[in-house]
Amino acid sequence: MNGLNEIVSANEKASQLKTYHIEFKVGVDEWGDEDSHELSADGKSIFSAGNGEPEDNILSRDVFTGKDYIDAVEFGMSLRAKGYTKLGITYTGAEVN
């Protein structure tokens, strides 16, 4: 009977989980390549990135993309699930503005 209680408990926990929905819109240029990411939730823009000047500023290079944003949010959610509520940050190297 213990196994049944564990299953019921797991199902109760799953039913209590809340999902925050994010719309991820990908823009493409005239050649069909991704050129912008726009994330929105609850009808509000929460992040955007796009190709622009200089030419090195493109989504497939070192620009923080919408996918990076989703990864960061998921990482934060996993930390919270582990019980973390604050970040301890040690800055090294050049001064951060």
For residue 74, what pLDDT band results from cuts at 50, 70 and 90?
Answer: very high
User: Distance of CA 66 to CAs 7, 9, 30, Å?
Assistant: 36, 35, 20
pLDDT at 27: 84
Mean per-residue pLDDT, 44-67: 70
Domain positions in the chain: 19-81
Is the entire prediction scored with pTM above 0.85?
A: no
For residue 95, what pLDDT band results from cuts at 50, 70 and 90?
Answer: low
DSSP tally for the chain: helices H, then strands E: 2, 3
Rounded Cα distance between 2 and 46, Å, is: 45
